[in-house]
A and B are shown apart, each in its own frame.
Chain A
């Protein structure tokens, strides 16, 4: 695990407060500006409403400035530092609050870039044990409906771990009985 962490090389990122939108931004070596954002969960756990206060939904992607042509048409999937940076942000949040869970939703439909980004993130989560990836005792619960995936990252010592498990079990039952 220590070896895994030592190979990390995240980009320098900063929190940005602008026009009331809060996000984290970083710029890659080839000039792609990324944003990582978090939003409050609302009504995501109907049978366990208190979990909404314990969950952030996050997302990421290139910013609008990226609509300008990119030098050498780089592929984000090749830049390991993008992955390192996003994982680093998520890890710090989970380190800072053990009782906070992170939720990520993605669809393999939609535009090609978003679909590729979503496949990539899911591949990150699947490629290695999340405990090694994050350097934390963490479980990633993934639900799949058609071409949509919803992953919930929960620390194993989260005070509400059992509640999350119950909520996810309800979701799994609904998917099973679809």
Chain B
């Protein structure tokens, strides 16, 4: 019974980790997405894609000054 409890805890911990992993993007996901966004903007400035394609990625330009 005790072993089962330990096993359940282990499963639970693994499950929780999986949920946590799926729940929010990690720094790796974020950096990957941001690099892809940056590459899309670079391509736009090089004339390889249109502004509409940049916007389609959900990128919103802002002029802070």
Q: Which residues of A contact B (CB under 8 A)?
A: 15, 17, 19-24, 35, 37-40, 42-44, 46-47, 56-57, 59, 61-64, 67, 89, 92-93, 96-97, 100, 103, 105-107, 110, 114, 143, 145, 148, 150, 170-171, 174-175, 178
Q: Is the interface of B mostly helix, strand, loop or mixed?
A: helix
CA distance A111 to B56 in the complex (A): 24
Chain A residue contacts of B7, Cβ below 8 A: none
CA distance A23 to B54 in the complex (A): 14
CA distance A61 to B31 in the complex (A): 19
Size class of the contact patch on chain B: 20 to 34
Q: Give the nearest-CB partner of B32 in chain A.
A: A148
Contact A40 B31 (CB under 8 A): no
CA distance A46 to B38 in the complex (A): 20
Chain A residue contacts of B28, Cβ below 8 A: 145, 174, 178
Contact A38 B64 (CB under 8 A): yes
Asked if B12 is an interface residue, CB under 8 A from chain A, the answer is: no
CA distance A143 to B39 in the complex (A): 19
Q: Which residues of B contact A (CB under 8 A)?
A: 24-28, 30-31, 33-35, 37-39, 41-42, 44-47, 51, 54-55, 58-65
Chain B residue contacts of A171, Cβ below 8 A: 27, 30
For the A-B complex with A24-B63, A145-B27 known, give 7 more contacts whose Cβ atoms are closer than 8 Å: A39-B61, A63-B45, A64-B46, A89-B65, A93-B64, A143-B27, A150-B31
CA distance A22 to B58 in the complex (A): 15
Contact B61 A43 (CB under 8 A): no
Q: How far, in Å, is A87 (CB) from chain B's closest CB?
A: 14
Contact A39 B35 (CB under 8 A): no
Q: How far, in Å, is A66 (CB) from chain B's closest CB?
A: 9
Contact A21 B61 (CB under 8 A): yes
Contact A148 B65 (CB under 8 A): no
Chain B residue contacts of A106, Cβ below 8 A: 38
